[in-house]
Amino acid sequence: MFDHSLAEPLPSAAVRVGENHVLPLTTFGDLRVLIDSDVAMRSHVSRMVSGCFAVLRQLRSIRHSVFDSVFHSLVLVVSLVMPRLDYCNATLAGLSASQLSQLQSVLNAATRLIHRSSRYEHVTPMLRDLHWLRSQEHIDFKLAVPTYRCLHGLAPRYLSD
C-alpha cells in the first residue's frame, strides 16, 4: 500500500523552457482524479466530498416530494452518490485518517438520508442494513479483488505478469 505521507513533493520553483519560465502545477488531473504535487490526494478527496454533498443536498430537497417506496429503492442515492465515491478509489489507498473520515461522512449522510434518521443516531446498523462497506473497507476491497484474481489466474495477463 502506498504511504502518501512519505511522498516527496515536486519542485515548486519555475523551470526555464527556452526563453520562458514555466511554473509547475500544484495539482494535476487525469481521468477525473486530482493528484497533488505531494501525492496526498487532498484536492481529489475535497472535490469528491463536496460533489457528493451537493448531490445529497439536492436529494434531501426532493425527499418529501416522493413516496418512501421510490426513495427507498435507492435508485437516486446509489446512482448519483455512490459512483462518485467508487470511481478510482483504489488510488486512495494509504489516505490519512482525516481524509478517510471525510469520505466516511458522505456515506453516513447518504445512509441517514435513506433511513430518515438524525445525525445523532448510530450509523453502523444502517450501513449493515444497506450492505455498504465503510470507506477504508471499500478501498481495501477494491485492492483485494484484482489481487485475488491475479493469484488465482483469473486476471488479464498484463496484470498477473
**Using CB atoms within 10 A of its CB, is residue 76 exposed (0-12), middle (13-18) or buried (19+)?**
buried
Domain carrying residue 58: 4-132
- Looking at the whole model, is its pTM more than 0.85? no
Does 137 fall in a domain?
A: no
User: What would the pLDDT profile of 12-70 be if each residue is shown by its tens digit?
Assistant: 677 777 888 777 656 656 556 656 665 567 777 888 888 889 888 888 888 888 887 77
What is the predicted pLDDT for the residue at 37? 60
User: What would the pLDDT profile of 74-111 be if each residue is shown by its tens digit?
Assistant: 555 666 677 767 767 777 888 889 989 998 999 999 88
Does 64 fall in a domain?
A: yes
Of 7, 64, 58, 16, nearest to 37 by C-alpha is: 7
Total structural domains within the chain? 1
Does 140 fall in a domain?
A: no
Q: Dig out the grid coordinates for 82 from the structure.
A: 455512490
Of 148, 145, 117, nearest to 130 by C-alpha is: 117
pLDDT band at 160 (very low <50, low <70, confident <90, very high): confident
- Residue, of 144 and 76, whose pLDDT is higher: 144
User: What would the pLDDT profile of 104-130 be if each residue is shown by its tens digit?
Assistant: 999 999 889 888 889 899 999 999 998
Does 155 fall in a domain?
A: no
Instruction: Go through the chain and tell me how many residues it has.
Output: 161
Does 65 fall in a domain?
A: yes
Does 41 fall in a domain?
A: yes
Cα 145 to Cα 147: distance, rounded to the nearest angstrom: 5
Does 85 fall in a domain?
A: yes
Does 43 fall in a domain?
A: yes
